[in-house]
A and B are shown apart, each in its own frame.
Chain A
Amino acid sequence: MPAIQENYDVCVVGAGHAGCEAALACARLGLETIIFTVSVDSIALMPCNPNIGGSSKGHLVREIDALGGEMGKNIDKTFIQSKMLNKSKGPAVHSLRAQADKAEYSKQMRKTMQNTDHLTIRQAEVSEIITNDKNEITGVKTVSGGTYFCKAAILCTGTYLRARCLTGEMITHTGPNGLQAANHLTDSLIAHGIEMYRFKTGTPARVDKRSLDFSKMQEQVGDERVVPFSFTTNPDDVQIDQVSCWLTYTNPKTHEIIRNNLDRSPIYAGIIEGTGPRYCPSIEDKVVKFAEKDRHQIFIEPEGLDTNEMYVGGMSSSLPEDVQHAMYRTLPGLENVKIVRNAYAIEYDCINPNQLYASLEFKNVPGLFSGGQFNGSSGYEEAACQGLIAGINAAMKIQGKEPLILDRSEAYIGVLIDDLVTKETHEPYRMMTSRAEYRLLLRQDNADLRLSKKGYEVGLISEERYNWVCEKEQLIEEEIKRCHEVRIGASKEVQEFLEEHDSIPLNTGTTLAELIRRPELEYDMLAPIDLERPELSYEVTEQVNILIKYDGYIKRQIKQVEQFKRLEKKKLPQNFDYNEVASLRIEAVQKLNQLQPLSIGQASRISGVSPADISVLLVYLEQLKYLNPDLFSKLNVGKEED
């Protein structure tokens, strides 16, 4: 029987949050792209929590949007509740989180994909990657025998590789929601020299809304004024009727049931071999690890408008069905609960992401890229941003351009990818705001200012949109300048205004900027005493307020970034044998050989590479200038800005 053979520029394997961004990016950049999924009905599926964003994840979505990705736009179309988290805290940790209508989210993404030029959707399980004698990617093969030749392939297999779901003693060899697992690809990857890991994660039960008593729970409503995720969404378009979430608690009775049945948990019984995430513990983990706590918060969240299913946030578990029934029923409001889908743990194959460059290309398989949970991360947003970067860089490679690599001072995405490819991973990686050293600069409110230029250069942001960002930048600058120049005298009106706002009256005149710095005052509030204020959009005045208010801290971080950049700019050779550098310690040689860092800066973050090793590397680079001028000039070392 003759098998199918087709030619594409890019093959994307998997149509989850990473795969969708990767495929859209490639297709939008004009490359013929095909995306494979085991089920077209499960494109952009949200198999776990029904929300997008959250602390630091909201930042990722904003950054994806500023680079020309889809996630922000898609959630703006399909959210049913939205909240800005941490609003009482500093602007750096404000973070958007929206409840999604899951089915609608998936449907809208599918619609976008289906209407994108150059993009072909194919329901098939990819079983092999094909390479030439240099181990460069040349195509992929499906289980049915079809061959799809390509210039680059992007693996976004999520949790599907050799997936196995566990609920107590019951084990099924499927992906999430009973979807077909992909059981063949792992062998092909191993045969190509790729090192695999096995991770696990889990999800709680979904329950029937009609069986719940909401009068025993606390209502959690959305924000009065909703802020959209995408910089392109008109804020007026997202002021919709929102749906509530509900809060209840576990209690000693719940914990007792769990403790009594621990021996039936596949984790505690040793059946699960994969490594689970510490930040997303199952309820049995919480009860064991934090034994002193007699209650844990549980959020009951709607899964959509057209379904009665509710997500029981905080109670993921791999305990058997009967135990799940018993323990869920101890919760106030869930006394008569009917479970629609059981909680389960899922195990899957993923890779050691240290095998990737920061471009998300495999070091040992040129042309092969990867993103998402396959890279050892967890979370929809983490997946989407990697998919976007992998897609962009596959396109850049085919177009013969430089890869897009964001560093730790430019974006949370940069932090995430640098952590993945540089540090040792022992559990699914989740973004956290504490991982970003320069978070005062990497705010969700300024993602467009930080990244639009890059998105424009890559080709995913239109000229019109980019021009608007440039204009905005200029307006901000001018208004900050004005605030530093405008004198506010100690007039009667001013003193009265200050007293009204619990602010100390002035002794002498001051500048508008000085008043903005007062904790109790803000730029917007000061309009009555700032008579010549130009009319500016909130987007602009928000930046003006933040940049003036936190000026001291921001300046300090900018200084730290300058230091950081100095080492990032010192490039290291690739595919290099560090045994050639005399005086490096053995451990450092091993780590450097394995990781092949792109810069001295990245090298300094590898555990096992000491400051002395870094000094040795710096001296070596200097030698290289004379010993191997060709190689040296390729590295752009020493090309530093003042």
Chain B
Amino acid sequence: MKTDTIAAIATAMSPSGIGIIRLSGEEAFSIVDKIYRSKSGNKKLSECESHTIHYGYIYDGDTLIDEVMVLLMKAPRSYTTEDTVEIDCHGGVFVMKRILETVIKYGARPAEPGEFTKRAFLNGRIDLTQAESVIDVINSKNDFALRSSTQQLRGTLKQDVKEVRDKIIHEIAFIESALDDPEHISLEGYPESLSSIVMEQIAHVDKLLANSDNGRMLKEGIMTVIVGKPNAGKSSLLNQMMGEERAIVTDIAGTTRDVLEEQIQLGGITLNIVDTAGIRDTEDIVEKIGVDKAKDYLSKADLIIYVVDSSVALEENDYEIMELLQDRQAIVLLNKTDLESVVTEEEVRNHLDKKMIAFSAKDSTGMEELEETIKDMFFKGEVSFNDEVIITNIRQKNSLQEAKNSLNLVLRSIEDAMPEDFYSIDLMNAYESLGNIIGESVEDDLVNEIFSKFCMGK
């Protein structure tokens, strides 16, 4: 069975000593040939023995990326039973990403969720009894990909992609209705106008590639969620960490209507901080959306900071939160220690046994300890972030790039005076690539667009 070549980061996204980028598929060796240079400069890995390790460098063209060890495994003696290459590089997140992007640039495709395991299984490499766990891996990783594509896209990205897609499908529908009903709809002079529309869309895609942090659609980092009941001081904590007033802070319970997301650097560690509306039963619909979202974020969090208002006695809402945090990586902040304490450490510990820090947003007490605690947890490996984020980002960047390539092919077809039906082939490819980013497939979009926008014959 012929297979295309897939690639992914195989190690956890934590600051460990080494990171591993794995490639599997028919072109694994030829791809690595293009980017690997030995010290002497004349070793060709595809000609080396299976199961050998090679010292050298990874280059993207003339740019040196990292000093690496490359492990070669020829089919069928590998995990997936396909030709497999593992690149051991320095463990920094940035380096791993850069190498993964390079192998993709030279012909690999970002692996689908759980794809290595799936291939291994389908190639008979994994014991049958493990089938259920294989399915679980595929499902959970897919769930993530699905969630990220629908919910976690940055800002207006989803809307932007949608707009470009809408423009494209409209043009395809126009071409197709003219092809289906040439006597009613004419394409006279159309290539010129299409050309300028396509150029506009390329500009949009370029902007998306550039603006969204070098193509990254999802925030990479430790997803840190701040929870606590209304007015416990969550927003003030976020402001402290950010060093500026971002969330609306008032003394009225329930003023953070939606969740706020911020990214901060803490001693080289990236945290994505999410400030949630207080968890409590609420009848206020607007706020209820915020509360539901908060619970949703909680389930996805890598680390949770639970803010307790120590000046107010514990009640139903606190118990509910603590219940949610039982098996999670969490830190408890006893806030408002500048006021008279009603809640003690022991009282909280009876319900939730986690690291506890006395804190006051007013005079910055405990801020340093909080930072140290987070760093400590990270370096001990207690918290790490979901590496699916990175592969998802690269996948999406790849999709944007593919969309751009397809649009450029349309321009070329126009320049080469190709017949109009050829335009819609590449336009459709662009439409599909963009759909991958926002998790939408093609289905009957085209036929529906044709019928709703263009008046067909008979």
Contacting pair B122 A93 (CB below 8 A): no
- B131 adjacent to A623 (CB under 8 Å): yes
Q: Are A289 and B419 in contact (CB under 8 A)?
A: no
For the complex, give the distance between the alpha carbons of A358 and B450 in Å: 27
Q: Is the CB of B118 within 8 A of A615?
A: yes
| Complex Cα gap A280–B458 (Å) | 6
Once the chains bind, are A583 and B458 in contact (CB under 8 Å)?
Answer: no
User: B184-224 vs A: 1/0 string, CB under 8 Å?
Assistant: 10010000000000000000000000000000000000000
Quick check: A92 and B421 within 8 Å, CB to CB?
A: yes
Pairwise interchain contact A434-B139, C-beta atoms closer than 8 A = no
A279 in contact with B456 (CB, 8 Å) = yes
From the candidates A86, A90, A279, name the one contacting B451 in the complex (CB within 8 A): A279
CA distance A583 to B136 in the complex (A): 8
In the complex the two chains form, what is the Cα distance from A433 to B178 in whole Å?
11
> Which one of B142, B187, B419 has the greatest number of beta carbons of chain A within 10 Å?
B419
**Interface check B455, CB cutoff 8 A:** yes
Smallest CB gap from B422: residue in A: A90
- Taking CB as reference atom, which chain B residue is nearest A556? B425
B121 x A55 contact (CB < 8 A): no
CA distance A92 to B425 in the complex (A): 12
Q: CA A439 – CA B425 in complex, angstroms?
A: 10
Kindly state whether residue B132 has any CB partner on chain A within 8 Å: yes
Known: A434-B446, A434-B447, A519-B416. A299 touches B176 (CB 8 A): no
Main secondary structure of the interface of B (DSSP, over half): helix
Report the stretch among A28-36, A290-298, A361-369 that lies at the interface. Answer: A290-298
Whether B418 lies near A519 (C-beta < 8 A) is yes
| Partner among B142, B143, B183 whose Cβ is within 8 Å of the Cβ of A615 | B142
Residues of A within 8 A of B245 (CB): none
Cβ contacts B423-458/A at 8 Å (1 or 0 each): 011000000000000000001101100110001111
Identity of the chain A residue whose Cβ is nearest the Cβ of B136 in the assembled complex? A583
- In angstroms, Cα B172 to Cα A313, docked, is 26
| Contact status A622-B424, CB under 8 Å | no
Cα A612 to Cα B418 in complex, Å, equals 38
With both chains docked as a complex, state the minimum distance between the C-beta of B315 and any C-beta of chain A, in angstroms. Answer: 39
How does the 8 Å CB contact mask read for A597-629 relative to B, with 1 for contact and 0 for none? 000000000010011100110111011001000
The answer, among A90, A293, A566, for a CB contact under 8 Å with B421, is A90
The answer to whether B18 has its CB under 8 Å from any CB of chain A is no
- Bound Cα distance A607, B440 (Å): 12
**Is there a chain B Cβ closer than 8 Å to A553's Cβ?**
yes
Shortest distance from the beta carbon of A182 to any chain B beta carbon, whole Å? 26
- Chain B hits for A615, CB < 8 A: 114, 118, 135, 138, 142
A428 at the interface (CB under 8 A from B): no
Contact string against B for A residues 88-118, beta-carbon threshold 8 Å, 1 for contact and 0 otherwise: 1110110000000000000000000000000
Q: Which of B187, B455, B458 contacts A290 (CB 8 A)?
A: B455
| Contact B444 A316, beta carbon cutoff 8 Å | no
CB of B345 within 8 A of chain A? Answer: no
Give the number of chain A interface residues (Cβ < 8 Å).
52
CA distance A297 to B186 in the complex (A): 12
Q: Report if A640 contacts B (CB, 8 A).
A: yes
Cβ-defined contact, B118 with A618, below 8 A: yes
Say yes or no for B134: interface residue by CB 8 A criterion.
yes
**Number of residues on chain B facing chain A (CB within 8 A):** 47
Residue-wise interface mask of B (88-128) relative to A, using a CB-CB cutoff of 8 A (1 in contact, 0 not): 00000000000000000000000010100010011010001
Known: A297-B184, A299-B183, A615-B114. A313 touches B457 (CB 8 A): yes
B292 contacts across to A, CB distance below 8 A: none
B179 interfacial contact with A, CB 8 Å: yes
Complex-state Cα separation, A110 to B176, whole angstroms: 37
B421 touches A93 (CB 8 A): yes
Of A316, A519, A612, A620, most B-chain CB atoms within 10 Å: A612
Q: Cβ of B286 < 8 Å from any Cβ of A?
A: no
A residues 345-367 near B (Cβ < 8 Å) are: none
Residues in chain A near residue B450, CB distance under 8 A:
279, 432, 434
Q: Is A332 an interface residue (CB 8 A)?
A: no
User: Smallest CB-CB separation from B140: which chain A residue?
Assistant: A612
Asked whether any CB of chain A lies closer than 8 Å to the CB of B39, the reply is: no
A325 at interface, CB cutoff 8 A: no
A619 & B134 in contact (Cβ 8 Å cutoff): yes
Kindly state the separation between the CA atoms of A322 and B135 in the bound complex, as whole angstroms: 66
Known A-B contacts A423-B444, A615-B138; A89 and B420 likewise in contact (beta carbons under 8 Å):
yes
- Asked whether B142 lies within 8 Å of A289 as measured between CB atoms, the reply is no
Interface centre among A90, A92, A550 (most CB of B within 10 A): A90
Contact of A623 among B128, B172, B425, B451 (CB under 8 A): B128
Q: Are A280 and B419 interface neighbours, CB within 8 A?
A: no
Does B181 belong to the interface (CB within 8 Å)?
yes
Give the docked Cα–Cα distance between A86 and B444 (Å).
24
* Neighbouring B residues of A620 by C-beta, 8 Å: 131
Q: Report chain B residues within 8 Å CB of A607.
A: 443
What is the CA–CA distance of A612 and B184 in the complex, to the nearest angstrom? Answer: 42
Pick the contact of A583 from B139, B416, B456 — CB < 8 Å? B139
Taken together as a complex, chains A and B put the C-alpha atoms of A423 and B446 apart, in Å, by 15
CB distance from B189 to the nearest CB of A (A): 13
Within A437-496, the residues touching B (CB, 8 Å) are: 439-440
State how many angstroms separate the Cβ of A566 from the closest Cβ of chain B.
7
Contact partner, B179, options A49, A93, A281, Cβ 8 Å: A93
Are A86 and B179 in touch, CB under 8 angstroms?
Answer: yes
A296-B444 Cα distance, complex, nearest whole Å:
26
Interface contact B422-A553, CB-CB below 8 Å: yes
A316 touches B138 (CB 8 A): no
Residues of chain A in range 564-617 having any CB-CB distance to chain B below 8 Å: 566, 582-583, 607, 610-612, 615-616
Max chain B C-beta neighbours (<10 A), residue from A86, A434, A623: A434
Q: Does A306 contact B (CB under 8 A)?
A: no
The 8 Å CB contact of B2, one of A92, A618, A642, is A642
Q: Is A264 an interface residue (CB 8 A)?
A: no
Q: Tell me, yes or no, whether A393 is within 8 Å of chain B by CB.
A: no
Partner of A89, one of B124, B128, B134, B419: B419
Which of A55, A92, A286 lies in contact with B455, CB distance below 8 A? Answer: A286
Nearest opposing residue in chain A for B450, CB measure: A434
Q: Which residues of B contact A49 (CB under 8 A)?
A: 458
**A432 and B121 within 8 A (CB):** no
Q: Which residues of A contact B146 (CB under 8 A)?
A: 612
B252 at the interface (CB under 8 A from A): no
Contacts A86-B182, A89-B179, A434-B446 given; does A281 touch B118 at CB 8 Å? no
The answer on a CB contact under 8 Å between B184 and A626 is no
Q: How far is the CB of A172 from chain B (nearest CB, A)?
A: 23
At the interface, yes or no: B285 with Cβ under 8 Å from chain A? no
Quick one: which of B122, B128, B457 has the most chain A CB within 10 A? B457
Report, nearest first, the 5 A-B pairs whose CB atoms are least far apart. A90-B419, A278-B451, A612-B142, A434-B176, A89-B419
19 CB contacts below 8 A, A to B, read A56-B180, A85-B182, A85-B183, A86-B179, A88-B419, A90-B419, A92-B421, A280-B458, A297-B184, A313-B458, A314-B458, A432-B180, A433-B176, A433-B180, A434-B172, A434-B179, A434-B446, A434-B447, A612-B142
